[in-house]
A and B are shown apart, each in its own frame.
Chain A
Amino acid sequence: MGEVTFLDVSKRFSLRVDGEVHQVQALDRVSFTVNDGEIVALIGPSGCGKTTALRVAMGLDPSTGGRVTVDGREINGCGHDRGMVFQHAELLPWLSARQNVMFGLEMKGMRGQLLLETAEKYLNLVGLKDSQNRRPHQLSGGMKQRVGIARALAIDPKVLLMDEPFGALDAQTRETLQAELLDIHARTGKTILFVTHDLDEAVIIADRIVVMKNGRVQEIMSVPLKRPRPDLGLVRGMPEFAETRYKVWRALHDGATVH
């Protein structure tokens, strides 16, 4: 199981600009649910609160109102039931790829032979078995993010939280990793909540798309594309893809819903 629910989640913080204190409402009573095994994309213009929502769900930032639950249990800080994939992978530069994956597992209390085997298994899953002894600066951007994904998956969380995981990659690498993420999802059935500013990415990967604006959920849309989606090139050519993409685009641009 792995069901994440946002219930009236709000987040305010003060920002001091030129001596004046501004109150910023980063999240304003955000409510939505990510069902078990589902992939949901959070999309919206920068500053809309999508990353804040993800950080609140991870437990890195506290909310100032409402609550987030995982399988009905309210979260309180970070936990092994959620795995975070950071925007720039954020691998520890002094550790090899394998040691980076092992770090998360060790924090969960895993030791010995099992630790080594589990780390290798997940590096294998992201196709990095041969590069497991390289340090982060010896890996390309795409490989780094694969390690980041392996590190989060290895602790076997109920939910994978991803903060613009492919945003910093070049277009070609991004497409490869999108396909790999879908493949990993098909194999592990993990619940995934991911933040993106990329329209195509949201439609290609997600089952549902949550459009955010000014800290509020503006609209939640279903993507009428069936799973599995093994050939993303084919998906891009489907009329449903174009229609959904256009609907999300409209929602982002003027808030008007197209039916």
Chain B
Amino acid sequence: MVDIANRHDKTVTAEKRETVERRPVPRWMITLASVAALLVVWEIFGRRINPVFGSYPSAIAVAFWELAVSGQLWSALYESLRPFVLGYALAILIGVPLGLFIGGFRIAEAALGFYITAGYAMPLVALVPLLILWLGLGFAVKVAVVFLMSLFPICINTWLGVTAVPKTLIEVGKSFVAPDTVILRRIILPATLPYIMAGIRLAVGRAVVGMVIAEFFTTISGLGAVIINSANNFDTATMFVPIIILMVMAIGLNWLIGFVERRVAPWQAEISGRDRD
């Protein structure tokens, strides 16, 4: 009797163990561990290197503190963000409709498509001196560089997205006698949204690079100026501060865009099963 009861108990606990759900490690924990590991390794090896040739996290943190306290960092950040935000916003406002137009109309694709493809490969750094001749050394040229860097990935992605819209969905519109403009706005645009958001994400990195390039070539100002000045003074630790800030900013923007995407196109995340965690 006892034996049987014991055996019974065992099976019960075994079943229980199976039904206990194994919770996966949260994403943020994995990210945090990865960052911590990188910082530790960097600190250990960075300290062995001549501070002119490299730096390490604690030295960069000290430099950050000094820049922040002196107020230099904040004014530089503000200087940089103004042309960045304007150029990037303009690229979205123009790139998305342009991509929809090129993808949606055969004639537009044939007439304009290859300019966009060529523009994406345009060596913009080489053209900055020319842009300076046109727009001067101030705010406008910085906006133009950021705009031109981020316009093409946004436009190309939107265009590709339009061509990837299933033909049958457009036929649904046609069979209910929807006019072309309604098909574009109510079928093609929402079906293209995931591609548009991917293009906007890709453009973040290029816009940041464009901003720094503009600051190097034109009036030395903003975060680009902090980089150049500290590099000229062989102050490598200070040089890393704006570089890291820019990278962190790109990550933040990327996250923000992802957040917006889940808001405006929730069905996409739901379909792919990425709406959780």
**A residues neighboring B (CB under 8 Å):** 58-60, 78-80, 82, 84, 86, 88, 90, 92-94, 103-104, 107-108, 135, 137-138, 155
For the complex, give the distance between the alpha carbons of A93 and B176 in Å: 17
Cβ-defined contact, B176 with A60, below 8 A = no
Query: Which residues of A lie under 8 Å from residue B191 when comparing CB positions?
Result: 93-94
Cβ-defined contact, A94 with B169, below 8 A = no
Cβ-defined contact, A137 with B175, below 8 A = no
CB distance from B219 to the nearest CB of A (A): 46
Query: Which residues of A lie under 8 Å from residue B180 when comparing CB positions?
Result: none
Query: Which residues of B lie under 8 Å from residue A59 when comparing CB positions?
Result: 175
Contact of B176 (CB < 8 Å), options: A88, A135, A138, A155: A155
Cβ-defined contact, B270 with A86, below 8 A = no
For the complex, give the distance between the alpha carbons of A135 and B270 in Å: 10
Query: Which residues of A lie under 8 Å from residue B171 when comparing CB positions?
Result: 60, 86, 90
Q: Specify the chain A residue showing the minimal Cβ separation from B271.
A: A137
Given contacts A92-B169, A94-B265, A103-B186, contact A60 B175 (CB under 8 A): yes
Given contacts A90-B172, A92-B169, contact A79 B190 (CB under 8 A): no
Q: Is B177 engaged at the interface, CB distance under 8 Å to the other chain?
A: yes
Q: Is B182 engaged at the interface, CB distance under 8 Å to the other chain?
A: yes
Contact of B267 (CB < 8 Å), options: A58, A82, A137, A155: A137
**Chain B 160-181: CB-based contact to A (< 8 A → 1; otherwise 0):** 0000000011011111111000
Cβ-defined contact, B169 with A137, below 8 A = no
Going nearest first, the 5 A-B pairs with the smallest beta carbon separation are A107-B176, A84-B175, A104-B176, A94-B190, A94-B267
For the complex, give the distance between the alpha carbons of A84 and B172 in Å: 8
Cβ-defined contact, B169 with A107, below 8 A = no
Residues of B159-218 contacting chain A, CB below 8 A: 168-169, 171-178, 182, 186-187, 190-191, 193
Cβ-defined contact, B271 with A93, below 8 A = yes
For the complex, give the distance between the alpha carbons of A32 and B219 in Å: 78
Given contacts A92-B190, A94-B265, A137-B271, contact A107 B178 (CB under 8 A): yes
Cβ-defined contact, B172 with A92, below 8 A = yes
Residues of B236-257 contacting chain A, CB below 8 A: none
Query: Which residues of B lie under 8 Å from residue A103 when comparing CB positions?
Result: 176, 186
For the complex, give the distance between the alpha carbons of A93 and B178 in Å: 17
For the complex, give the distance between the alpha carbons of A155 and B175 in Å: 11
Cβ-defined contact, B177 with A79, below 8 A = yes
Given contacts A79-B177, A107-B182, A137-B271, contact A88 B187 (CB under 8 A): no
CB distance from B186 to the nearest CB of A (A): 7
For the complex, give the distance between the alpha carbons of A59 and B175 in Å: 8
CB distance from B5 to the nearest CB of A (A): 45
For the complex, give the distance between the alpha carbons of A94 and B186 in Å: 10
Query: Which residues of B lie under 8 Å from residue A88 when comparing CB positions?
Result: 168
For the complex, give the distance between the alpha carbons of A94 and B264 in Å: 10
CB distance from B223 to the nearest CB of A (A): 39
CB distance from A238 to the nearest CB of B (A): 36
For the complex, give the distance between the alpha carbons of A80 and B175 in Å: 8
CB distance from B63 to the nearest CB of A (A): 48
Q: Beyond A80-B177, A135-B267, list 13 extra A-B contacts (CB 8 Å).
A: A78-B175, A78-B176, A80-B176, A86-B168, A88-B168, A90-B168, A90-B169, A92-B190, A93-B271, A94-B193, A94-B265, A137-B271, A138-B270
CB distance from A96 to the nearest CB of B (A): 10
CB distance from A94 to the nearest CB of B (A): 5
CB distance from A180 to the nearest CB of B (A): 22
Q: Specify the chain A residue showing the minimal Cβ separation from B273.
A: A137
Cβ-defined contact, B267 with A93, below 8 A = yes
Cβ-defined contact, B187 with A92, below 8 A = yes
CB distance from B179 to the nearest CB of A (A): 9
Residues of B19-37 contacting chain A, CB below 8 A: none
CB distance from B264 to the nearest CB of A (A): 10
Give the residue among B169, B176, B193, B267 with the most A Cβ atoms within 10 A: B176
For the complex, give the distance between the alpha carbons of A155 and B177 in Å: 11
Cβ-defined contact, A58 with B176, below 8 A = no
Q: Specify the chain B residue showing the minimal Cβ separation from A104.
A: B176
CB distance from A193 to the nearest CB of B (A): 14
For the complex, give the distance between the alpha carbons of A169 and B182 in Å: 31
Q: Specify the chain A residue showing the minimal Cβ separation from B186.
A: A103
Query: Which residues of A lie under 8 Å from residue B186 when comparing CB positions?
Result: 92, 103
8 contacts between A and B (CB under 8 A): A59-B175, A78-B174, A84-B175, A92-B169, A93-B267, A93-B271, A107-B177, A107-B178
CB distance from B185 to the nearest CB of A (A): 12
Query: Which residues of B lie under 8 Å from residue A90 when comparing CB positions?
Result: 168-169, 171-172
Query: Which residues of A lie under 8 Å from residue B267 when comparing CB positions?
Result: 93-94, 135, 137
Query: Which residues of A lie under 8 Å from residue B173 when comparing CB positions?
Result: 107
Query: Which residues of B lie under 8 Å from residue A92 when comparing CB positions?
Result: 169, 172, 186-187, 190
CB distance from A45 to the nearest CB of B (A): 22
CB distance from A101 to the nearest CB of B (A): 11
Query: Which residues of B lie under 8 Å from residue A138 when comparing CB positions?
Result: 270
